[in-house]
């Protein structure tokens, strides 16, 4: 952005964006690495399930192959094997 284009509205908008990014950064700094990992994994698995649900599986039941176990504060991922016919 050129210096000439900086008017009062743009300055206010940029300050608001800066405050929002700093707030987001502070939230991320307060989280542990495994919390971030679990959130990313959950987001990925949700997106994958949504994509798989769009595909038409005729006569087949969709089984959940991955499950996150949360008995302690460390991430554990269990991958179930597919049953072969």
Most confident of 10-14, 36-40, 63-67: 36-40
Residue 21: give the domain boundaries. Answer: 1-30
Residues 42 and 58 in one domain: yes
Res 38 pLDDT > 70: yes
Residues 50 and 24 in one domain: no
Q: What is the pLDDT of residue 37?
A: 95
Dihedral in degrees, nearest 10, Cα atoms 37, 38, 43, 45: 110
Residues 49 and 77 in one domain: yes
Report field, pTM of the whole predicted structure over 0.85: no
Specify the number of domains making up the chain. 2
Quick: pLDDT tens for 41-77.
Answer: 999 999 998 888 877 555 555 555 666 655 566 555 5
Residues 25 and 39 in one domain: no
Residues 52 and 83 in one domain: yes
Burial 65-82 (b: 16+ CB within 10 A, else e): eeeeeeeeeeeeeeeeee
Residues 8 and 23 in one domain: yes
């Amino acid at each position: 952005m050129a210096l000439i284009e900086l008017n009062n509205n743009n300055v206010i908008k940029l300050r608001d964006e800066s405050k929002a990014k700093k707030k987001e950064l502070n939230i991320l700094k307060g989280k542990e690495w495994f919390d971030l990992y679990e959130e990313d994994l959950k987001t990925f698995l949700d997106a994958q399930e949504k994509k798989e649900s769009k595909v038409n599986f005729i006569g087949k039941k969709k089984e959940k192959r991955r499950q996150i176990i949360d008995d302690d504060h460390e991430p554990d991922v269990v991958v179930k094997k597919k049953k072969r016919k």
